[in-house]
Amino acid sequence: MTIGEACRVRIQELCNERNITVNKLAIMAGITQSTLNNIVSGRNNSVTVSTLKKICDGLDITIIDFFDREIFRMLEQEIK
């Protein structure tokens, strides 16, 4: 699994936990719906730190809270 895939899974997990749609999260985070939809759908394989920070702010969590999951501890090194 790549970091992009793990972020996509985590964003969907957080939306499910809070019973909100991805589009609602985009509004809460102050980012465009197309940006978040592209991340969640996999059309965008990576997410910038600044976008991720906005998502975390919209969810009222820290970056540490976002990444504090087994899915991120299991990632293999990406060399390209």
Q: What is the pLDDT of residues 35-60, one digit of tens each?
A: 999 999 989 888 999 999 999 999 99
How much is the mean pLDDT over the chain?
92
- Core vs surface per residue 64-78: b (16+ CB within 10 A) or e: eebbeeeeeeeeeee
In this prediction, residue 45 carries a pLDDT of 83
In this prediction, residue 46 carries a pLDDT of 84
**Is 67 a domain residue?**
yes
The pTM score is 0.89
- Report how many domains make up the chain: 1
**Is 64 a domain residue?**
yes
**Is 59 a domain residue?**
yes
Domain enclosing residue 21, as ranges: 3-73
The answer to whether the Cα torsion of 3, 9, 13, 25 is positive or negative is positive
Distance from C-alpha of 15 to C-alpha of 73, rounded to nearest angstrom: 21
Identify the CATH number of the domain in which residue 14 sits. Answer: 1.10.260.40
